[in-house]
Amino acid sequence: THLVSRLAALDQKRREVVVSLSKSLAWPHGARTPSLSELAQRLPEPERSRALQLAERTRERLEQVHRESASLRAAARTLAAHMEGLLRHVGRQFTSAGVYSPRGQVSPGGSLAVALDVKT
């Protein structure tokens, strides 16, 4: 989706900024990669305050995206389960066998010549 590709592009830009700032601020070579907030602490004012504010806003936005993604995943799972239940219900209406599978669901019997109008 557009949002995911935009986030990926922003993350790539963030990585580039971290590399550039790490070199400019003489972050110890071989040490773990610092966060933008850690690098911002080493900047002079007013850049430090601005960078820390942007880092906090970015963190808040990413948390919002994470929450919304989790909600969408839950809604998609619920919808898929509902659709599966509907299909099972329709299948039971048209089955001739009425035999249960090992999973406790009605197994379809032989094929029946039926049609289901889902548009009306």
Report residue 77's pLDDT band, with 50, 70 and 90 as the boundaries.
very high
Rounded Cα–Cα distance for residues 54 and 34 (Å): 16
Domain-embedded: residue 47: yes
CB 107 within 8 A of CB 99: yes
Rounded Cα–Cα distance for residues 21 and 35 (Å): 10
Note if the pTM is more than 0.85. Answer: no
Domain-embedded: residue 14: yes
Where is 99: in which H helix or E strand? strand 99-100
Domain-embedded: residue 81: yes
| Whether the predicted pLDDT of 78 surpasses 90 | yes
Tally the domains of the chain. Answer: 1
CB 24 within 8 A of CB 39: no
Report residue 55's pLDDT band, with 50, 70 and 90 as the boundaries.
confident
Annotate 30-71 with DSSP letters as a single string. TSPPPPHHHHHTTSPTTHHHHHHHHHHHHHHHHHHHHHHHHH
Quote the domain boundaries for residue 26. 2-107
Domain-embedded: residue 35: yes
Domain-embedded: residue 116: no
Q: Residue 96's pLDDT is what?
A: 62
CB 22 within 8 A of CB 39: yes
Domain-embedded: residue 75: yes
Domain-embedded: residue 72: yes
Domain-embedded: residue 86: yes
